[in-house]
Amino acid sequence: MTGTVAGTLRADDPRRTRGGRGRTWGLLGCGLVLSAPAGLLLVRLTGLDAGTPLAVPMVLFPYSAVLSVLVLGVMVAVPTLRSRWAVAVVAALVVVQAGLLVPRFVPESRHVPAGAAVLRVATLNTDVGGADPRAVVELVRTERIDVLALEQLPSAGVAALDRAGLGALMPYRELHPEYDSSIYSRRSLSHGGATDSDTAWPQTTAEITVAGRTVKFVAVHTYYPLGDADRWTRDMTALASLARRSGPDTVFLGDFNASLDHAPMRGLLASGLTDTHAELGHGWPRTWPVGLPVVPPLVQLDHVLHGSGLVGVSVGERTVPGTDHRAVVAVLALLPA
């Protein structure tokens, strides 16, 4: 009887050698791709971005998690890459990343009492007054904004907003173009001025009275980590100290030049503040950069943070022509004292 039997390839068969070499190179390629996500995870877990240039790539941490998931999918789908130990390692990486990111996609179950007083607030970096003043006024009108924080607003920008009619909608203001941030309000402001904290420049602050409660606002614009990571970290540390002294009825809003994955931002939140986006399950908003050809906004640098005396009702981003940041609009309710 004659016939052909398909047996196992011999150890010296060149096909086995080529297959083993391809598997090795494939796994090495996956490891190389995953070196960036693994490195960012290490920085995220250790807080090594505080005061160092590592703060710059840290804004890409969510993207690195997506990349890890894609690599894991490829390793599972491609038979030659289906190494049990390699898949287990990558799966562990994905699990840790997910553990850090998923909570911000889960809304907090905080009850908003019926009839609670609400504040509609917004923040916008005007890009040195480049934001279209008529668009800013329209944003305030359509969103019925009570308090507006503007960053990088020079004196010429203040005048342009007045000509566009912002004064009729928000007659009360605490303007400090020399300090890079200003506050406009529909309601009367009190205790306005600039902070004396250890920040690169003073932050503008003011208070309003709502339903018998005094709510403190701080319009934030920090230094940027690409320019001086240590200076940026000191800014965030100073804001955390200010937040601890400000009490539960406080709102910090503006351009923090930080994402939720930065250690200094987590330190600021630990001082008693809540990020409204994360609170409401909006886990991956993107507010910067705007206006680049083809490239959409990539990261969140602009935030509305509030103390424990308030709760987020809604939050979203709005595009305003002329600036490289998106506006953040939030509705906050006052909780019973």
State both tokens at 116.
């609670």
In this predicted structure, what is the pLDDT of residue 10? 57
Helix and strand numbers, DSSP H then E, in the chain? 10, 12
The arithmetic mean of pLDDT across residues 207-220, rounded, is 97
Roughly what angle, to the nearest 10 degrees, separates helices 14-46 and 84-101? 20
pTM above 0.85, yes or no: yes
Domain boundaries, the chain: 14-104, 111-334
Q: Report the mean per-residue pLDDT for the chain.
A: 93
CATH fold label, 111-334:
Deoxyribonuclease I; Chain A (3.60.10)
- Asked if 149 and 180 count as a contact pair (C-beta separation under 8 A), the reply is no
| pLDDT, tens digit (0-9, with 9 covering 90-100), for 247-297 | 999 999 999 999 999 999 999 999 999 999 999 999 999 999 998 888 899
pLDDT at 231 over 70: yes
| pLDDT, tens digit (0-9, with 9 covering 90-100), for 59-113 | 999 999 999 999 999 999 888 877 888 899 999 999 999 999 999 999 998 888 8
Distance between CA atoms of 44 and 66, rounded to whole angstroms? 15
- Asked if 209 and 190 count as a contact pair (C-beta separation under 8 A), the reply is yes
Distance between CA atoms of 205 and 220, rounded to whole angstroms? 9
